């Protein structure tokens, strides 16, 4: 390209602004507010977490007391509770993705 075409193209566009445009200001959401909002959106995830912790605790107590049969049963139940929690998490993500598409 010739120098005159380049000069014409440069003068056609307005110069960039000297100061950046202000960013939008969002209110800060604290941990408690975010936790409550997320719990309302998908209540099964915290429920699954509580079940997992409860079963794990009971299994560890059984193990410490020497009840190996119950301890093994609780560890298997913990796996199921974790699976439920993971499925609830994935389901919530799918629902959120479907809502954002609309």
Considering the entire predicted model, what is its pTM? 0.64
Structural domain boundaries in the chain? 42-100
Q: CA torsion, points 45, 50, 54, 56, in degrees to nearest 10?
A: 50
Dist. CA 44–CA 85, nearest whole Å: 7
Tens of each residue's pLDDT in the chain, 102 residues? 556 666 665 666 776 667 777 777 777 888 888 888 888 888 999 999 999 999 999 999 999 999 999 999 999 999 999 999 999 999 999 988 898 887
**Cα separation of 38 and 84, whole Å?**
17
Instruction: For residues 65 and 51, give the distance between their C-alpha atoms in angstroms, rounded to a whole number.
Output: 21
CA-based angle 30:35:36, to the nearest 5? 105
């Amino acid at each position: 390209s010739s120098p005159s075409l380049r000069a014409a193209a440069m003068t056609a566009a307005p110069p960039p602004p000297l100061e950046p445009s202000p960013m939008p200001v969002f209110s800060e959401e604290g941990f408690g507010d975010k936790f409550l909002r997320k719990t309302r959106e998908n209540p099964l995830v915290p429920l699954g977490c509580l079940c997992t912790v409860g079963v794990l605790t009971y299994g560890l107590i059984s193990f410490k007391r020497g009840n190996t049969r119950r301890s093994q049963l609780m560890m298997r139940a913990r796996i199921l509770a974790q699976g439920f929690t993971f499925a609830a998490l994935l389901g919530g993500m799918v629902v959120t993705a479907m809502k954002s598409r609309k």
